[in-house]
């Protein structure tokens, strides 16, 4: 059964590793398995942020639309420990996506329902805190990456 | 302090601002060097700057430098016409000593033009590939079209079992690779052996962050080696310019272990 | 050869003998209101009856009411420029025709061509120690400085005890004076060392021998009938008294205890900000310091572009260009440059060369337009360290 598969899978993902069985069981109840073909969008800027993705395989690009086309700002990779997740807008009002997310390669993920996740976190602050620490970890890596890249270290035209 | 004369044999354009220049000696034999060493290269009448050797330390072919055109001297070097005579002093400085990694895993982390000084180390590994366990090259570039040595990258991955990961600051149309910081890749390096050696070359900020991430991955600080850049006028410890507190980076470096550099890199403007 | 006594006539005979041996004799002379090194043919070229007053940011000569020849402290420059000129051509290149020509002819410039070997008369003890330091920095290295080696090789050094230290002097703290010979690192390299004495027994020089060449020269004087008697106990006592009085009159002191650790630990001290608020980053201190060795190079091209000379010039760590790499200066602030200068001189030097880079001559204090005094800055860092 799909649900069983998810429950078995969750502890193996680096993002969720270390959560206890009860917590994982609670989370599994919010989860479904999803697949995206290359080029397919996980979500688009402005849409309600109703999901959180833990990548199993594949690579997802976070993009923003410019007047002149799309610009990729970051990629998330299934095999990056602690980084293979996409989306935190489900956590913060107004719960809307601030970027597009597009599969670059064949991607499979566990998708968590945002409303369900928020409810579990409210009910169980210990779980909420554990989840929040993990999300903050990813955010801090991405923020660091964005800040350092702002320095344009490898240099453009002087 | 008197340079040897070398003649430009050929030049190859690597990307929009970087060129590789091949030099033949006007007299005498080829210049023997160790991977990681640099020369003081000069265009007569323009000036002299330190440039790492990017060729094969085992080969007897032309002397190779990969030069990013950022100012007057580097421009004159990169665009020297075939036949033009340049001055070469050296080779100077410490090398990567990559052979210390034999029997264990080696990670090379390059940022931007920093891949050029690491190239001789990679070629050295390829020549004796079986003496090393897992070898990974993590390479950060500005954009996909800034990526240097594309043919080498392919060959290292396909012919020499080197895990090559390229990550760029900003994507471009058609790029399906990673976008982000090279330091992010350090977390996912697959180590097989307990003995690990890391060689890092790039902008100082990138090297600092990489070294910290490598140490966090269990590489001993004295086995994380960085190649430091400072203003260098003499290359031989006499002009004073390259000092980092007690170190003459031209003589004691440019390649130094992180345990030696860490206290010095953690102070601004030292 | 024992310690000998020379009269002023004897000293003149010594200068003559050096000339006869082919040396260009350089010694202290009065030039532009200060003591500097210049050619000495007769003792009258020396600053007889001149003394100096030095304070932070101030230097004045004054007349003395005695005929002493060496009664002043450190002059504007040490002997450094004699071996390590502020500007010199390393090599020339002559291009056949135009810049892309394959016929580039490189010629190293023979530094000593046309230069007579130098005999330096009256090198004060601090400057003697500085020569020893420069020998270490420029010769005893992986790559030595060939030009310096050539100039130093043939040099004859006549040192002098510093009898009249200035308000800015602290050689005693640095172990480099006032008597020649004491000093950090390898033995101070003199051939003869003299102490000028003037008392009831007369105006004379107590001369000690430091090398075979020195002994040989004295022996030649004796053989030629020059009055160069063996020193009597009274002469030695008189010389010791000069040293003792000078030691007692030392204008400043620098506590060198644990100095390296102090400076390394003080990298983030607010004291640097305070100095930086006064320092003009003019680099005067580095220009007058007898141990500063930093240089820059530049290519000088003639109008046709056919001849290029590579010129080496003194440089200063206070200059913005000094630490420039593509993108900017590593040391952009004056704070970091003063810290670099002081930390290198008093701390990093020890790690690099096994000795301090300061001989206590006080020149950097005297010639600083902002009257910055390194002994005071070190004291401030110590206080700061004590408070922390
Ligand atoms: C050990 C070492 C190895 C290097 N290897 C390479 C390499 O393989 N490829 C490459 O493209 N670059 C390399 N560099 C950097 C290269 O030396 C500089 O880009 C170059 O000096 C810039 O000179 P410029 O005149 O073109 O630039 P400008 O910005 O016009 O510089 C003006 C002057 O400042 C000095 N200067 C500026 N930047 C540097 C610098 N980074 N290091 C030392 N002096 C500098 C030079 O004297 C130069 O003439 C290396 C630097 C070091 C220290
Ligand atoms: S630092 Fe100042 S006192 Fe010390 S040797 Fe140099 S000039 Fe003289
Ligand atoms: S300390 Fe004095 S002499 Fe030295 S750079 Fe500063 S102002 Fe100039
Ligand atoms: S480059 Fe001159 S001392 Fe290092």
The 10s digit of each residue's pLDDT in A21-80 is 889 998 999 999 999 999 999 999 999 999 999 999 999 999 988 877 788 889 999 987
C125-138 and C146-153 helices cross at what angle (nearest 10)? 140
Using 50, 70 and 90 to split pLDDT, how confident is the model at C113? low
Does ligand 4 come within 6 angstroms of the Cβ of B248? yes
Using 50, 70 and 90 to split pLDDT, how confident is the model at C147? confident
- Shortest distance between the Cα of C147 and any Cα of chain A, in A, equals 38
Q: Are residues C287 and C211 in the same domain?
A: no
The 10s digit of each residue's pLDDT in C46-86 is 999 999 999 999 999 999 999 899 999 999 999 999 989 99
pTM of the model: 0.92
Using 50, 70 and 90 to split pLDDT, how confident is the model at C248? very high
Alpha carbons within 13 A on the beta-carbon side of B254: 29
Assigned domain for C91 exists: no
Handedness of CA C25, C26, C28, C30 (dihedral sign): positive
Query: What does the pLDDT read at residue B48?
Result: 95
Domain count, chain C: 2
CA distance C55 to C167: 6
Q: Are residues C241 and C268 in the same domain?
A: no
- Shortest distance between the Cα of C120 and any Cα of chain B, in A, equals 25
Residues of B in contact with A80 (CB under 8 A): 184-185, 187-188
Atom of ligand 1 nearest to the CA of B68: 11
CA distances from A2 to A5, A6, A24, A36, C100 (A): 5, 6, 15, 17, 73
Assigned domain for C236 exists: yes
CA distance C2 to C158: 16
Assigned domain for C99 exists: no
In a structure prediction context, what are the per-residue pLDDT tens digits for chain B, which is 270 residues long? 889 999 999 999 999 999 999 999 998 999 999 999 999 999 998 999 999 999 999 988 899 999 999 999 999 999 999 999 999 999 999 999 999 999 999 999 999 999 999 999 999 999 999 999 999 999 999 999 999 999 999 999 999 999 999 999 998 888 889 999 999 899 889 898 889 999 999 999 999 999 999 999 999 999 999 999 999 999 999 999 999 999 999 999 999 999 999 999 988 899
For A151, which residue in chain C has the nearest alpha carbon?
C327
* Torsion of the alpha carbons at B231, B233, B239 and B243, rounded to the nearest 10: 20
Handedness of CA C209, C215, C218, C222 (dihedral sign): positive
Two tokens, residue C122:
């009256």
**Could you say which of C248, C282, C305 is where a domain stops?**
C248
- Shortest distance between the Cα of C360 and any Cα of chain B, in A, equals 21
Query: What does the pLDDT read at residue B174?
Result: 83
Assigned domain for C102 exists: no
Assigned domain for C101 exists: no
Q: Are residues C171 and C150 in the same domain?
A: yes
Residue B183 is given by DSSP the state: H
Q: Are residues C148 and C182 in the same domain?
A: yes
Contact between B165 and B190 (Cβ < 8 Å): no
Using 50, 70 and 90 to split pLDDT, how confident is the model at C110? low
User: For residue C187, what are the domain limits?
Assistant: 3-84+111-248
Candidates B73, B4, B1; CA nearest to B33 is B4
Q: Which residues are within 8 A (CB) of B232 and not within 5 positions of it... i.e. 6 or more apart?
A: B40, B49, B50, B239, B241, B242, B249, B250
Using 50, 70 and 90 to split pLDDT, how confident is the model at C388? low
Query: What does the pLDDT read at residue A14?
Result: 87
Q: Which helix (H) or strand (E) holds C38?
A: strand C34-39
Does ligand 2 come within 6 angstroms of the Cβ of C165? no
Residue C187 is given by DSSP the state: P
Res. C184: pLDDT tops 60: no
Share of chain C above pLDDT 90, in %: 78
Q: Are residues C354 and C269 in the same domain?
A: yes
Q: Does B142 touch chain A (CB under 8 A)?
A: yes
Q: Which domains does chain B have, with CATH numbers?
A: 4-92 (2.40.30.10), 98-227 (3.40.50.80)
CB contact under 8 A, C324 and B231: yes
Q: Are residues C170 and C44 in the same domain?
A: yes
Residues of A in contact with B71 (CB under 8 A): 158
Residues of C in contact with A155 (CB under 8 A): 326-327
Cα-atom radius of gyration of chain B, to the nearest Å? Answer: 18
CA distances from B150 to A49, A72, B115, B156 (A): 39, 22, 11, 10
Ligand 4 centre from B238 Cα, in Å? 5
Least confidently predicted of C176-190, C264-278, C280-294: C176-190
Res. C185: pLDDT tops 70: no
Query: What does the pLDDT read at residue A82?
Result: 65
Query: What does the pLDDT read at residue A1?
Result: 41
Res. C160: pLDDT tops 60: yes
Two tokens, residue B86:
């340049």
CB contact under 8 A, B233 and C352: no
Q: Which helix (H) or strand (E) holds C365?
A: helix C363-366
Mutate to test the pocket of ligand 3, among C284, C315, C335 (most ligand atoms within 8 A of CB): C284
CA distances from B83 to A59, A75, B6, B10, C55 (A): 48, 46, 9, 8, 59
Two tokens, residue C304:
């046709």
Q: Are residues C280 and C353 in the same domain?
A: yes
CA distances from C304 to B113, C22, C99, C117, C312 (A): 36, 39, 10, 35, 22
CB contact under 8 A, C308 and B45: yes
Q: Are residues C275 and C215 in the same domain?
A: no
Q: Are residues C236 and C354 in the same domain?
A: no
Using 50, 70 and 90 to split pLDDT, how confident is the model at A120? very high
- Shortest distance between the Cα of B79 and any Cα of chain C, in A, equals 11
Chains that touch A (3 or more CB pairs under 8 A): B, C
Least confidently predicted of A74-88, C15-29, C351-365: A74-88
Q: Are residues C22 and C131 in the same domain?
A: yes
Using 50, 70 and 90 to split pLDDT, how confident is the model at C264? very high
Size of interface A-B (CB pairs under 8 A): 76
For C97, which residue in chain B has the nearest alpha carbon?
B84
Return the CATH architecture of domain A6-152. Sandwich (2.60)
Does ligand 1 come within 6 angstroms of the Cβ of B59? no
- Strand order across the beta sheet in which B47-52 lies: B47-52, B38-43, B85-92, B4-15, B18-25, B63-68
Res. C291: pLDDT tops 50: yes
Q: Are residues C320 and C228 in the same domain?
A: no
């Amino acid at each position: 059964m799909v649900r069983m598969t998810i429950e078995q899978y969750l502890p193996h993902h680096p993002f969720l590793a270390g959560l206890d069985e009860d917590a994982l069981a609670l989370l599994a109840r919010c989860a479904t398995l999803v697949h995206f073909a290359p080029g397919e969008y996980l979500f688009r800027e402005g849409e309600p942020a109703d999901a959180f993705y833990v990548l199993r395989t594949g690579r997802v690009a976070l993009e923003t639309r410019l007047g002149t086309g799309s610009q990729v700002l970051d990629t998330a990779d299934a095999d990056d420990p602690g980084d293979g997740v996409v989306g935190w807008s489900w956590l913060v009002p107004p719960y809307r996506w601030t970027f597009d997310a597009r599969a670059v390669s064949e991607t499979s993920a566990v998708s968590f329902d945002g409303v369900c996740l928020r409810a579990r976190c409210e009910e169980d602050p210990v779980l909420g805190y554990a989840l929040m620490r993990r999300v903050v970890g990813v955010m801090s890596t991405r923020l660091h990456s964005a800040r350092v890249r702002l320095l344009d270290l490898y240099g453009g035209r002087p | 302090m008197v340079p040897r004369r070398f003649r430009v044999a050929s030049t190859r354009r690597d990307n929009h601002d970087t060129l590789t220049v091949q030099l033949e000696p006007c007299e005498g034999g080829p210049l023997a060097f160790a991977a990681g060493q640099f020369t003081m290269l000069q265009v007569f009448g323009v000036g002299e700057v330190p440039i790492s050797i990017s060729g094969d330390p085992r080969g007897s072919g032309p002397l190779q430098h990969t030069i990013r055109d950022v100012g007057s001297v580097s421009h004159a070097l990169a665009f020297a016409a075939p036949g033009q005579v340049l001055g070469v002093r050296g080779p100077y400085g410490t090398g990567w000593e990559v052979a210390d990694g034999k029997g264990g895993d080696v990670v090379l982390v390059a940022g931007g033009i920093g891949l050029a000084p690491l190239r001789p180390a990679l070629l050295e590994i390829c020549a004796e590939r079986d003496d090393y366990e897992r070898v990974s090259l993590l390479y950060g570039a500005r954009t996909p079209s800034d990526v240097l040595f594309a043919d080498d990258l392919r060959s290292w991955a396909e012919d020499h079992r080197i895990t090559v990961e390229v990550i760029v600051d900003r994507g471009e149309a058609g790029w399906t690779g990673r976008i982000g910081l090279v330091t992010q890749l350090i977390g996912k390096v697959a180590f097989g052996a307990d003995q690990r050696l890391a060689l890092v070359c790039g902008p100082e900020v990138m090297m600092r962050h990489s070294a910290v991430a490598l140490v966090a991955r269990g590489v001993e600080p004295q086995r994380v080696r960085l190649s430091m850049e400072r203003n260098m006028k003499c290359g031989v410890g006499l002009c004073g310019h390259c000092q980092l507190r007690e170190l003459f980076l031209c003589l004691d470096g440019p390649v130094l272990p992180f345990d030696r550099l860490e206290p010095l890199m953690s102070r601004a403007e030292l | 050869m024992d310690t000998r006594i020379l009269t002023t006539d004897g000293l003149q005979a010594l200068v003559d003998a050096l000339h006869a041996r082919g040396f260009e004799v350089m010694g202290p002379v009065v030039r532009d209101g200060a003591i500097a090194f210049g050619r000495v043919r007769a003792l009258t070229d020396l600053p007889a009856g001149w003394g100096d007053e030095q304070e932070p940011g101030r230097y004045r000569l004054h007349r003395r009411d005695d005929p002493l020849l060496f009664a002043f402290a450190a002059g504007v420059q040490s002997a450094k420029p004699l071996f390590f000129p502020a500007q010199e051509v390393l090599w020339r290149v002559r291009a056949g025709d135009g810049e892309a020509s394959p016929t580039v002819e490189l010629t190293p410039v023979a530094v000593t061509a046309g230069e007579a070997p130098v005999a330096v008369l009256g090198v004060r003890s601090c400057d003697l120690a500085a020569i020893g330091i420069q020998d270490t920095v420029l010769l005893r290295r992986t790559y030595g400085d060939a030009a310096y080696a050539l100039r130093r090789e043939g040099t004859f050094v006549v040192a002098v005890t510093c009898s009249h230290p200035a308000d800015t002097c602290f050689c005693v703290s640095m172990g480099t004076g006032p008597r020649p010979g004491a000093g950090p690192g390898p033995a101070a390299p003199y051939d003869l060392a003299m102490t000028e004495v003037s008392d009831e027994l007369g105006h004379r020089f107590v001369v000690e021998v430091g090398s075979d060449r020195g002994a040989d020269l004295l022996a030649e004087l004796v053989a030629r009938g020059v009055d160069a008697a063996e020193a009597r106990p009274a002469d030695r006592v008189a010389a010791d008294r000069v040293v003792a009085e000078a030691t007692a009159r030392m204008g400043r002191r620098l506590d060198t205890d644990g100095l390296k650790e102090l400076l390394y630990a003080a990298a983030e001290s607010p004291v640097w900000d305070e100095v930086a608020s006064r320092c003009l980053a003019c680099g005067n201190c580095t220009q007058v310091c007898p141990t500063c060795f930093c240089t820059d190079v530049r290519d000088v091209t003639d109008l046709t572009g056919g001849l290029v000379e590579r010129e080496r010039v003194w440089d200063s760590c206070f200059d913005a260009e000094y630490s420039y790499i593509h993108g900017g200066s590593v040391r952009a602030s004056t704070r970091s440059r003063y810290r670099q200068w002081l930390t290198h001189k008093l701390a990093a030097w020890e790690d690099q060369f096994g000795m301090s880079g300061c001989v206590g001559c006080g020149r950097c204090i005297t010639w600083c337009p902002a009257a910055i005094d390194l002994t005071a800055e070190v004291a401030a860092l110590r206080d700061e360290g004590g408070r922390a």
